[in-house]
Chain A
Amino acid sequence: MRKNDFDVIIVGAGPAGLAAGYVLAKEGISVAIIERGIFPGSKNVMGGIFYRSSLDDLIPDFYKEAPIERHIVEQKIWLLSEDSMFSTGIKSEKYNVEPYNCFSIFRAKFDKWFAKKVADASAMIINETVVKDLILDGDRVIGVKTDRPNGDLYCDVVIAADGVNSFLTKSLGLRKKITTNNVALALKEIIELPDKVINDRFGVSGSSEGVTIEITGPYFDKMRAIGFVYTNRNSLSLGLGVVTEDMVKLKINPNDLLEKFKSHPAIKPLINGGETKEYMAHLIPEGGYYSMPKLYSNGFMVVGDAAMLVNSIHREGANLAIESGKFAARTYIEAKKIGDFSQKTLSSYQKKLEDSFVLRDLKTYKNLPKLLEEKQYLISKYPKFIIDAMYEMYNVDKVSKSEKIKLIMNKAKKELGYFNILKDVFSVWRDFR
C-alpha cells in the first residue's frame, strides 16, 4: 500500500479550510492545507462582517489579537426608492461591550493571521499551489494532484474547502448544477476616508466602533439585490450582491449598477470625498439549503462555500464556513479512531451540521430563494409602500392624520390588494415556520 503524505489534505485556506486544519492540527493529526493564492486571504473577498462566536470556540478571545477593523454597535436596514430612504435598525450598548457580537474585517489580513495560527498549531500550509484533480482508488478519494512537478499527495481524507466554485465537488459529481439563480454576483469597493470623518458620518464615538447598513428596496428595480455599507477603520466597504440571473435577464452592467447605487442621495454623502482603493467581484452562493451538494463521499468531505453554506439574508458565510470546518475535522478524528473513512462513517458530518444552527438556519430559510424568485415584488413593492406611507405620515400638508391613514390604506388596497397581502404574509410565515 502507498504511504500517506498526510492524514488529511484540505484544499483551500479560507475560513472553512483553516478552521478544519486548526482543529486537526491541535489533535496532532498531520494535515496539509493547499492554497492557490500567494498567501491565505490573498484571493479572498468579503464584505466584511465576521461573527465572533464560531471562531471564539477555537481561539478564545481571538478578537484581542486578530486584525479587526471595528466592532459593530449598530446594524441598520435601509429601504431605498429613487428619491427616499426609510431607515430602521438596532443600536445597542450591549453590542459595545466585550467580547462583542461581530466585527468588520479585511479578509486579506484576517485570513493571513488565522493561517499563522493554524501553521503555529503545526498544520502545513502550502501556498501558490493549485489542486488540479482528486486521486481516486475506485470510488474512494485517496489524494490530490497539484499543478506542481512531483505534485501528487496521498491521504486518508480530502476536505474540499475550495470556495463557491468548488471544482472538487464538481469533479466528484456531488454538486447539483449551479444555476444563475443560485449565485449572486457581489461587487465591492473599498472607499478610503479618514477615521474621524467616518465616526462623524456614522455617529459613533470612537474609531473602534462600527456600523453596518443593509440596503434593499424598489431602487434596485426588478432585481433581487442587497446593497451594503460597512465601516472599517479608515475606509468603507460598499457593495452590492445581485442574483446573477436578474442581472443577465435585465442586461444590467454590474458596474453601472454600482455607480448608480453610489449616486443615491442617501449613499452619496456617506462616501463623499472618499477615494476608491480597491474594486472586486466575487460570487456568493445564495441558493440556500436546496442548492447544497452531497456533503461527503468515501474519503471526502465538503465544507464552507463549497458546500453552499451561506445564509445570505443574515450575511453569514464565514462563520458557517468555520462551523462546518470544525465538524468535518471532528468527523475525521472519530473516523480515524476506527480506521474507517468510508461514506458511512463520514455521514456523521452531515448529521452534526443538521443538529447545529448551521443547517437549522438554512432549513428555516430554505424556501426563501424560491419565494423571492417567484415574488420578487416582496422586496420592491412592499418597501415602496412603506417608504410612501412614511413619507405621507410626516409630510404636513394640512391633510388630517386620520385622512392620511385612510389614503394609505386605500393605496395598499389598490397597489397591493388586501388579499394578496394576506397571501404573502401566509407564504412567508409558512416558509419560516
Chain B
Amino acid sequence: MHSLVFIKQVPDAAQVRVDYHTGTLIREGVPAIINPYDTHAIEAAVQMKDKFGGIVSVLSMGPPMAEEALRKALSMGADKAYLLCDKVFAGSDTWATSYALWAGAQKVIQENGPVDIFWAGKQAIDGDTAQTGPGLATRLDIPLVTCAIKIIEANPEKGYIIVQRLIEGGSETLQVSMPCMITAEKELNDLRFSPLPDLIKAVKSSVQLLNSTNTTIDPAQCGLKNSPTKVKRVFIPSKRERGEILEPSGKEIADVLFEKIEPVLKQMGRV
C-alpha cells in the first residue's frame, strides 16, 4: 500500500497575535507546526502501512523552513519526504496550490510507484479554506472523501476502502474505490508518541527538494500571478473592547439583557 500525504506547515494559530498599530499579523516567534489536521492524515497513512505494508510518502509545498514539518512527518513514521520549494510557487491560491501539488505528486508516483490513498487534512488552520483536498482529488481524477472520522475497512486487494465521514448532523459510511483522496478530521485517530528510533531516523533522512526544473510543473500555472483569486486587501477586525457589565435596574437582569440584544434578535428574525 502506498499512501501519499499532503501536509502544510502553518503558524500555530493559537499563538498568532495581531499588531493593531500596523494592522498585520505578528508571526515572529510563533512556532510553525504541521497543520493539526494533517498530523491525523499522517497517522492514518502510517496505520495503513502498519497493517498492509508498503510506504508512506509526504509532500509539502512551502518555503525551505517547511522541511521541519516534513521531518516531523518522518518522525511520525513516514518514509519519504518531498518539498516543493520554488519562488514560482509563492503566493499561490488554492487553485494554483492544488496544481503544483498535483504535479509534485506525479513525481512522487514516478519514484515510489502508484498511490493507493492520497491523504490531506480537512483544512489548513491558517487559511481555513478546505479547498486543496477537493481540488487535488479533482485533478487526480479520483473519488473524494472529506471529513473522515474513521477508517472502517480497507481492502487493497479488492481495491476499496470503507470510511465514515462527518456530515451535517451526523455521519455517513462510504465505500469508495481506490485510489482515492481522503481528508482527515481530528477524530480520525489518536496520534502516537513516536519511538525514539523513528525520531533519529527522521533527523538522518533527507527531504527531497522539488522545483520547477526537476518536475514537469508549468510555471505559468503557479504563483501569485497565475492564481485566479487575488487579495484586494487585508485588515484586522476591530479589537474586542471590554464591554458593559449589566446591573439589574429595577427590572430583572434578563429584561435588561433582552433589551440590549433585541435589535440583533430582530435582525435574525427571532423577534
Contact = CB atoms under 8 A, between A and B. Distances in A.
A129 B29 contact: no
Given A148-B199, A149-B193, A192-B19, 17 more contacts: A32-B200, A38-B31, A39-B31, A106-B29, A109-B29, A124-B200, A124-B203, A126-B196, A126-B203, A129-B196, A129-B199, A146-B196, A149-B194, A150-B196, A153-B196, A194-B21, A277-B26
B195 interface: yes
B29 A150 contact: no
B31 A151 contact: no
A306 interface: no
Contacts of B21: 194
A42 interface: yes
A267 interface: no
A125 interface: yes
Contacts of B199: 126, 128-129, 148
Interface string B155-197: 0000000000000000000000000000000000000011111
B31 A126 contact: no
B260 interface: no
B17 A277 contact: yes
B203 A150 contact: no
A353 interface: no
13 contacts: A38-B33, A108-B29, A119-B203, A124-B200, A126-B199, A129-B199, A148-B196, A149-B194, A149-B195, A149-B196, A150-B197, A153-B196, A194-B21
A148 B203 contact: no
Which range holds the interface residue count of chain B? 10 to 19
Contacts of B33: 38
Contact of A151 (B26, B195, B204): B195
A119 B203 CA distance: 9
A346 B196 CA distance: 29
Interface in A278-324: none
A39 B67 CA distance: 14
Contacts of A192: 19
A364 B269 CA distance: 78
Interface string B28-47: 01010100000000000000
Contacts of B196: 126, 129, 146, 148-153
Contacts of B203: 119, 124-126
Nearest to B33: A38
Given A108-B29, A125-B203, A126-B200, A148 B195 contact: yes
B193 A148 contact: yes
Nearest to A147: B193
Contacts of B194: 148-149
B227 to A, nearest CB: 31
Contacts of A39: 31, 68
Contacts of B197: 150
A191 to B, nearest CB: 13
Interface string A190-229: 0010100000000000000000000000000000000000
Contacts of A146: 196
A235 B187 CA distance: 41
A389 B199 CA distance: 63
A-B complex: 3 closest residue pairs judged by Cβ atoms: A149-B195, A148-B196, A151-B196
A206 B68 CA distance: 35
Interface of A: 5, 32, 38-39, 42, 106, 108-109, 119, 124-126, 128-129, 146, 148-153, 192, 194, 277
Contacts of A277: 17, 26
Contacts of A126: 196, 199-200, 203
Contacts of B68: 39
A124 B71 CA distance: 13
Contacts of A109: 29
Counting chain B CB atoms within 10 Å of each CB, the highest count among A106, A129, A152 belongs to A129
Nearest to A190: B29
Interface in B215-257: none
Contacts of B29: 106, 108-109
A2 B205 CA distance: 25
A149 B199 CA distance: 11
Nearest to A41: B29
A124 B193 CA distance: 20
Nearest to B26: A277
Nearest to A194: B21
B18 to A, nearest CB: 11
Contacts of A150: 195-197
Nearest to A119: B203
A5 to B, nearest CB: 8
A364 B110 CA distance: 67
A174 B19 CA distance: 48
Nearest to B68: A39
B54 to A, nearest CB: 22
A30 B158 CA distance: 48
Nearest to B22: A194
A150 B199 CA distance: 11
B271 to A, nearest CB: 40
A153 B200 CA distance: 11
A340 B203 CA distance: 30
Contacts of A128: 199
A377 B89 CA distance: 65
A109 B32 CA distance: 13
A149 B193 CA distance: 8
A133 to B, nearest CB: 14
A150 to B, nearest CB: 4
Counting chain A CB atoms within 10 Å of each CB, the highest count among B19, B29, B194 belongs to B29
A109 B196 CA distance: 26
Interface string B50-83: 0000000000000000001000000000000000
A108 B28 CA distance: 10
Nearest to B21: A194
A157 B122 CA distance: 46
A106 B199 CA distance: 27
Nearest to B19: A192
A32 B204 CA distance: 12
